[in-house]
Amino acid sequence: MKRLTIDIAPGDYTVSRLPAGTEAPRIEAAGLVSITSTPTEVSIVCPTDVAPETEHAHPGWRLLTVRGPLEFDLTGIMAALAGELAAAGVSLFAVSTYDTDHVLVKAADLQRAVKALREAGHEIP
């Protein structure tokens, strides 16, 4: 796996779920906002200060973003990150976009995640 540069976004993120068929809310924020709709749910990842109110909201995540853009023919990026974090006992929530991959880890696990990724050879400024 090539060495990746991974940036840590400032602030707290929330992962939320809304019922299937719910109209996706309009969320404007300076950070990552990801809204995914499936036949069974609407999942939202966004900064906590703009997260919709729902009983299925889980705040306390920190966002790590692989510097991109990444080419579509690259393989193993998410597998490598997930494996390195799993070996350190850090769970993750993954989001991919057109340009890159993002990994959210619980705020309490951030330092352990950073240590594991650095030890695997990745750069985290």
Domain ranges of the chain: 6-119
Q: Which fold has domain 6-119?
A: VC0802-like (3.30.2130)
- For 52, half-sphere exposure in the C-beta direction (CA atoms, 13 angstrom radius) is 20
Which residue is associated with the tokens 């929330």?
14
- Average pLDDT of the chain is 95
**Residue 80, amino acid:** A
pLDDT tens digits for 87-123?
999 999 999 999 999 999 999 999 999 999 999 999 9
Do the beta carbons of residue 89 and residue 112 sit within 8 Å? yes
Hey, which residues does 47 pair with through a beta bridge?
13
pLDDT digits (tens, 9 = 90+) for 44-100: 999 999 999 999 999 999 999 999 999 888 889 999 999 999 999 999 999 999 999
